[in-house]
Amino acid sequence: MLDEIDLEGGNIFIVDKPLGWTSFDAVKKIRNALRIKRVGHAGTLDPLATGILIVCSGRKTKMVDQLMASVKEYKGTLKLGETTPSFDAETDPDQTYPTDHIRMEDLVLATKQFLGPISQIPPIYSAITVNGQRLYKLAREGSDYVPEPRQVEIFDFLITAVRFPFVNFTVRCSKGTYIRSLANDFGKAVGSGAYLTALRRTSSGDYKISDATSMDSIIAHIKLSKEKLTNQPTVDLVVEG
């Protein structure tokens, strides 16, 4: 159920981001529909990821930092035996690795290595800014820059299904965690390689994927609400004296 549009007070939109869209694509779409400048999101989702993207407008943009700090849950799939420069399917595999030695118990044991606070190196194919430049632009230019490691926390990391070489998993983690980097590091932990092939954010703080709405429905709701506001009948004020 979508709330009524409040152009002055602002809104929080729980978007089910479609595959192929950047987070900014969703922000721009909502910004253009509302025709206001103050619109932002609370936590980037990569173009190849789907699921919950929280977009705030108007005065509710003051809540972005608070919402961004919440615990996130993801469901994803990684492929063992290969790596890619982007750590996901955005780029083609660049190296292959042996997988014959990997057993189910090895996968489960490897997940435990990542529980708790960990140091993680973000992918160079990311929106992080360094000296005024986005890392993904440096990557596309062939730069060998290595991002600085960051501290994140993994609360749960569960293997949910294995269809070798594909592994399905669920992760609950802190803000700033790159699941692509986790997939890449997981491949190393089992003595092989791995990259992320699918990812869906299923919760962000108190918001669940069942609370999310498609972009088309949100835009249609905004347009309908604005039409209602525009077409409200005026009432003449009569003063009796």
Encoding tokens for residue 30?
Answer: 């909502």
- Spacing of C-alpha 133 from chain mean position: 21
Cα dihedral: 116, 106, 46, 91 (round 10): 140
Q: How far apart are CA 173 and CA 176, in angstroms?
A: 9
* SS3 label, residue 174: coil
- Choose, from 3, 16, 25, 46, the residue flagged as catalytic: 46
Strands (DSSP E) along 81-228, which ranges?
82-83, 95-96, 116-120, 129-130, 133-134, 150-163, 166-173, 194-204, 207-208, 213-214
Q: How far apart are CA 231 and CA 235, in angstroms?
A: 12
Half-sphere CA count of 192, side-chain side, radius 13 A: 23
- The helix (run of H) or strand (run of E) holding residue 33 is helix 23-34
Residue owning tokens 């269809």: 163
The yes-or-no answer on residue 185 being catalytic is no
Beta bridge partners of 89: none
DSSP code at position 113: T
Encoding tokens for residue 87?
Answer: 């750590």
Please give the positions annotated as active site: 46
